[in-house]
Structures are given as C-alpha cells and as structure tokens.
Chains A and B, each alone.
Chain A
Amino acid sequence: MNLIPALDLFPLLASVLVLVGCTMLGNFLVLRRQSLMGDALSHTVLPGVVGAYLVFGSRDPFGLFIGALVAGLLTVTSIEALRRYGRIESNAAMGVVFSIAFAVGVVLIRVGHTDHVDLDPNCVLYGQLELLVWFDAPSSFRDVGFTDVYHAMPSSIWSLLIMVLLSALFVLFCFKELRLASFDPGLSRTLGFSSRAINMVLMLLVSVATVASFEAVGSVLVIAALLVPSSTARLFTDRLKSQILVSILVAFFCAVSGYLMSTWIPLLWQGESLKASGTITVVSGIVFGCSLLFSPRYGYWMQRSRTRQLADQVAIEDVVVLLHKSHRTAVNFPWSTIDPRILALATKRGFLQSPIAGQYFLTNAGQNLALEVQGRRSRWLNYLVTEVGLAPDHAPGTAEHLEHLGDDLLQKSVDTMDDPSHPSGECP
C-alpha cells in the first residue's frame, strides 16, 4: 500500500509552507499579545476576497490578493481607530470589526451570486487542500527540465512561496526592530524606530499570509498556524531566535504529520480521507497540549515535580535540624507532628536510621547535613541583616525560605562573605 501517494505532494507542500510562513509572523503576534489580530484578519479576508471578485469579475489571484490586503488594512486601521477615538477596549473593538466584516462577506457572497465559483464561505473556512493537484506533473525526471510543465502547477503554491519568502525576509532583516518594538514600544519610539510602522508592516504581512493561505487551508488553520507552533515554542526556550527556530520545526512537524493523519486515519475504517486542514489543526493542538504538560522547562509536570522536590528537601532539612537540636531529648520528640512520608523519605536518603520502636535517630550523613544547613542559615541571616537591611528579628524566617530559592550565584556571594579577605561586594 502506498501511504504517501504522489498526488499528495502538493497539498503536503502547501500545508508545510502555510504553517512555516505563518509561524514566523505568529511568534511576534504572540509576543505582542496580538494573537487575536490573526483571528480578526483571517475573518476579514472573506469580504476582501469576495469584494475583489465582484469588482474584477474573475478569480485572478492577484485581484483577490489586492482585495484581501485592502480588507486587512481597513481592519487594522479601524480597530486602531475604535480604540483610540471610540475608547473601546481592544478585544471588544476586534470582535466588533471582524464579526461585522465577516457578515458583510457572507452577504456579499449571496448578493453577488458567487456561490457557483466555489467562493462559498465553507471553502474560506476549511480550504481545499485536496484540490491542489498538479495535473501535468512531469511523469519522469526527463521532463523536469522543460519549463512548460510548471505552468500547470497550482497557482496557490506560487503565492504561498512568495508569502513564505516575504515573511522570512521581514523577520530576518527587521529582527532587531521587531524585537525592540515588541519588547519596549516606548523606547522604540524614542530611539526613532516607529513602533506603529513596524506594527503596520507586520499586520500587512499577516494579511498577505492569510490571503495566500486561505484558499489552500482555510482561515481556521491560518489562526492555528499563526498561534499554535509559536505558543508551543514559547514553552521550550528563553531566546527569541531559538523560539523562532523551534516554532518552525514544530510547524513543519505538525504540517507533515497532520497531513499524513488525514489520509491514514480513515484507513482504520476504510473511509475517505478527512479534511487535512482540520487534522493539521488538531495535531498541532495535541502537540501544544503535550508540550504544556511535559516541556522540560515550563511544562506543568516538571514544574510540579520541581516544586515538590524542593518542598521535600526543605521538609527533610527541617526535620534533620530539629532532630539535631533536640538530640538529647529525642525521646520526647513530637513525631506525630511530622509527615510520615518525609520521615520515610529521609530514611531512604540515608539521613535517618530506620526507626526503633517508633524513634528515629540521625545517621552520620544526617548529622553532617544538619550542621551544613545550620551553617548555611546563619550565613544567610548574616547577609540579610548586614546587606539587605532587614531587622534581625524578622530575618531568620526569611533566611530559611531564601536559602532554597536563591540561585547559585547569590549563594556563592553569601558564602564568600565569611571570607575576610574577600571584600563584600555591594552587588551580589
């Protein structure tokens, strides 16, 4: 059985291009908290495209492009105007603009009788990835050299290629400006990099991406392509460059696997293939969900287990110190107040001897740990009192908390404070 029929080459290519191209722009939308601008723009493509069809009277891709660009520009400026002059909160402004624009689009379709040229709203929503067929594809490698076979290539591929190229160029050449304008628009303006102009170009390119993509994959996948891979990458990295790279990889993976799913899953019940735009969206949603749970840095699972480890560590140290301090009176030690799980854990780690008649005793390792912890706490106390300016009677509690949270660098500088030869730096 041929799992990837040659017929799928172009749809597959198209979905990869859509996801990769949109993702590059989407990274900045997410960082600028303008994700929903992508949503809004993908809705307003409909009236733009239909309007262009009614004006130009053909489905010439160039005309549609112009129409959608105009619609995109109008959307961005009218949302901005609503916010500034009508003082309407930005979410509400977006909602008002794009829903009305979408309604205009649907009405235009009915009024202009464009249903028969497959400009129906469904096509805008889901796209028609499956129709991207290269009818005159070269049948063998000998034909590849003849240019005329390329004329029959689906035109959306070309527009997608151009879109990806434009996005890549923009991100490459304006990387620095984008980063500045997204991070600190105020500084950007005082430095003379107009954040409004950068924003406008970004929005225009998102419009271009939406127009180029909607025919192939529909507007819903465009929203997913803009947001999902970049949000996923955000969970893995702390650098903008690597975030963009990771998001492109994620986008590539989602596009390929999502597309393959659309043909493979129906094989389970011998059905026809599913809507590829839908499966790609779902696959990217799943990828995002898994990253959210299991990402090594910001995943829920890791964060929870890290918090837990830290809590355990603190509890064990507390027990050990407590036991060390009250060693002589261990008989009266209030064992019932201490979580048995912690006692078991401390025993397992070799800080406590196994209980004899319900009594625990410190091992040598436990003794050492207690001394070390006490020393560390007193150094922290010293640091807090002398350097930070806390009142001494408040400090001990803070010291117990800080020593576990403080990063290694701070710890180092605290440790060096005991060393008289080392001048205590004013900047830890």
Chain B
Amino acid sequence: MSPIHRPEHSTNSPLSIHAMTVAYDRKPVLWDVDYDAPEEPRLIAIVGPNGAGKSTLIKACLGLVPRASGLVAFRGKPLDDVRSTIGYVPQRESVDWEFPVTALDVVCMGRYRKIGWFRPVRQKDRNAALVCLDRVGLADLADRQIRQLSGGQQQRVFLARALAQEADLYFMDEPFAGVDAATEQAILGVLREMKNEGRTIIVVHHDLQTVPSSFDEVIFLNMRVVDSGPVAEVFHEDNLRKTYGGRLTMLAEAAEAVARSERR
C-alpha cells in the first residue's frame, strides 16, 4: 500500500492548505485537505456536489470557521500577517439588502482595511471605489440603494468591492449564483482582467458546463480533494465521476462539458 500522497508545499504559493480537517457538530465535513495553489496567477474553480464542503473550505481558510487540525499559509505566512492581501466575496444571500447603504458605500467597504480604524472614508477612497464600480459597468448606479439593484448588479457590486480591496488572492463564494448569462460573461471578463493583473482567484462554482471555458484550474472537492490541477489535465470524466458519483444527469452534463473542452 502506498503512503498517502502529499504534495510538496511551496512557500511561494499564494494559498497552501496543509492537511486541513474541519468538523462541524460531531462529524468532520472536510478531511485531510491538502492543496497548493500554483504560484502564477490563476482562475481556480472549486467544484463538487452539495454538502461537499466547498464554502466550508473557503471559510476555514479565512478563519471564519474553526479548524480541527491543519495549517493554512499564504505565501508561507499565516492569515493575520497578510489580511490586507486577501479578499473575500461572500454569498449574496449572506447580507441584508435592505440595509441603508448605496452601491458606492458597499464598494468603499473594500478599502476599510487601508483606511484603518476610526478614520473616516475620504473623497480619494470614494474616487477609487468609483473606479472599481466603473470597471464592472455600474458607475451610473453608484448612488442607488442596494435593494434597488437587480441580482446580477448586486453581484457585480460585490465584485467591485473585491476589486477595491486590491488583494493578491480572492475567495469568492458562488459569484455566479442567480445571475443571467450576460452578467456571468461580464463578471468572468472582470475576473480575467484581475488575473492578468497578477491576482489568484478561487471561486466556488456550481455550473460544470462553464468550467472548461472559463477557468484555468479546478479543484474537485467532496469532503476531501479528489483531484486538482489545470483544467486541461484533470477535467475529465473519471474525476467527475469520483466527485459526483454515479448520478446520471451529472454525468450527462459532464460528458457534454468534457466533449466541449476537447473540441476547444
């Protein structure tokens, strides 16, 4: 029997997860997750069935849920040393959209870390936020209360906030949930720009069909990492079956997706 395969962890990786186990309640939901993100900027998708622990993985990396064991390092440093270089886009449902803030206010929140404790938001921060809002195509709506935006626009406001954070590494929890095809393309466009600026972006993703066309790397997750690596190498039916099991609909979708990626 071969020993458990453990990757060599590099201190230059923007995110390396060392043997992380996370337990909710009585049972572990993530077991012995080992992962190293590539050093070069990449667009990385985390895929897996419901309840596979995708959001938990992100939250555990960010210290939002406690880890039972394991280490997370960002370019070899612990989270507290690099907070300002880590961005986070939570699920859209996690906030109260009736909250009395405008789109611009929300984007400004991304810069709070730079502004620091007790200092007010200044005009220069607002201008920077406006630039970010413009990049996602919402500069016209800066003064709207966030409830008055459509679902896709709300998602883009969150994206603009992430841009305003000017981080090196982003975690995004389902940024494509409930947005139409056009908005999805627009968001992807921005993500690619961000990647080209040298940032690594890790996205919890639902839609297998768009993985080959949209992402560089993929992590197959189902309570443990099934496989990870460049889409061209690891996005094949075997891994999909290992991750999603024998579910017929999924397999049909997967086959279609694989076929499309081969055609490309």
How many chain A residues have a CB neighbour from B under 8 Å? 34
Give the Cβ gap from B1 to chain A, nearest Cβ, in Å.
Answer: 40
Within 8 A of B (CB), among A208-242: 234, 237-240
Give the Cβ gap from A117 to chain B, nearest Cβ, in Å.
Answer: 41
CB of B120 within 8 A of CB of A409, answer no
Majority SS of interface residues in chain A? helix
CB of A179 within 8 A of CB of B105, answer yes
Q: Give 6 nearest A-B pairs by CB, closest first.
A: A427-B137, A238-B145, A190-B88, A191-B113, A192-B83, A240-B100
Partner-binding segment picked from B7-15, B90-98, B228-236, B251-259? B90-98
Task: Judge if B262 is at the interface, Cβ distance under 8 Å.
Answer: no
Of the residues B63, B94, B100, contact of A238 by C-beta under 8 Å: B100
In Å, the complex CA distance between A174 and B115 comes to: 12
CB of B120 within 8 A of CB of A176, answer yes
Partner-binding segment picked from B29-37, B38-46, B179-187? B179-187
CB of A186 within 8 A of CB of B186, answer no
Contacts of B106 in A (CB 8 A): 183
CB of B88 within 8 A of CB of A387, answer no
Task: Judge if B64 is at the interface, Cβ distance under 8 Å.
Answer: yes
In Å, the complex CA distance between A6 and B173 comes to: 62
Task: Judge if A180 is at the interface, Cβ distance under 8 Å.
Answer: yes
In Å, the complex CA distance between A403 and B121 comes to: 38
Task: Judge if A397 is at the interface, Cβ distance under 8 Å.
Answer: no
How many chain B residues have a CB neighbour from A under 8 Å? 43
Task: Judge if A187 is at the interface, Cβ distance under 8 Å.
Answer: yes
Within 8 A of B (CB), among A298-345: none
Give the Cβ gap from A417 to chain B, nearest Cβ, in Å.
Answer: 13
Task: Judge if B86 is at the interface, Cβ distance under 8 Å.
Answer: yes
CB of A190 within 8 A of CB of B182, answer no
CB of A179 within 8 A of CB of B101, answer yes
Task: Judge if A348 is at the interface, Cβ distance under 8 Å.
Answer: no
CB of B96 within 8 A of CB of A183, answer yes
Nearest-neighbor residue (CB-CB) of B183 within chain A: A427
Within 8 A of B (CB), among A223-282: 234, 237-240, 243
Task: Judge if A80 is at the interface, Cβ distance under 8 Å.
Answer: no
Task: Judge if A130 is at the interface, Cβ distance under 8 Å.
Answer: no
**Chain A CB within 10 A, most for which of B63, B109, B117:** B109
Of the residues B112, B118, B182, B185, contact of A180 by C-beta under 8 Å: B112
CB of A182 within 8 A of CB of B186, answer no
Of the residues A173, A183, A191, contact of B99 by C-beta under 8 Å: A183
In Å, the complex CA distance between A409 and B121 comes to: 28
Task: Judge if A425 is at the interface, Cβ distance under 8 Å.
Answer: yes
CB of B90 within 8 A of CB of A186, answer yes
Task: Judge if A372 is at the interface, Cβ distance under 8 Å.
Answer: no
Contacts of B83 in A (CB 8 A): 190-192
Nearest-neighbor residue (CB-CB) of A233 within chain B: B100
- Binary contact readout B65-101 vs A (1 if CB under 8 angstroms, 0 otherwise): 0000000000000001001101010100011100111
Contacts of A183 in B (CB 8 A): 95-96, 99, 101, 106, 109
A sample of 23 cross-chain residue pairs with beta-carbon separation below 8 angstroms, ordered by A number, consists of A31-B96, A176-B119, A176-B120, A177-B117, A180-B109, A183-B96, A186-B88, A189-B63, A190-B62, A192-B84, A193-B112, A193-B113, A238-B102, A238-B145, A239-B101, A239-B145, A240-B99, A388-B180, A389-B182, A407-B148, A427-B156, A427-B183, A427-B186
Give the Cβ gap from B24 to chain A, nearest Cβ, in Å.
Answer: 12
In Å, the complex CA distance between A428 and B141 comes to: 11
In Å, the complex CA distance between A234 and B99 comes to: 9
CB of B88 within 8 A of CB of A240, answer no
- Binary contact readout B106-139 vs A (1 if CB under 8 angstroms, 0 otherwise): 1001001101011111000000000000001110
In Å, the complex CA distance between A284 and B1 comes to: 75
Contacts of A118 in B (CB 8 A): none
Q: A176-B121, A426-B182 are in contact. Are A186 and B102 (CB under 8 A)?
A: no
Give the Cβ gap from B189 to chain A, nearest Cβ, in Å.
Answer: 8
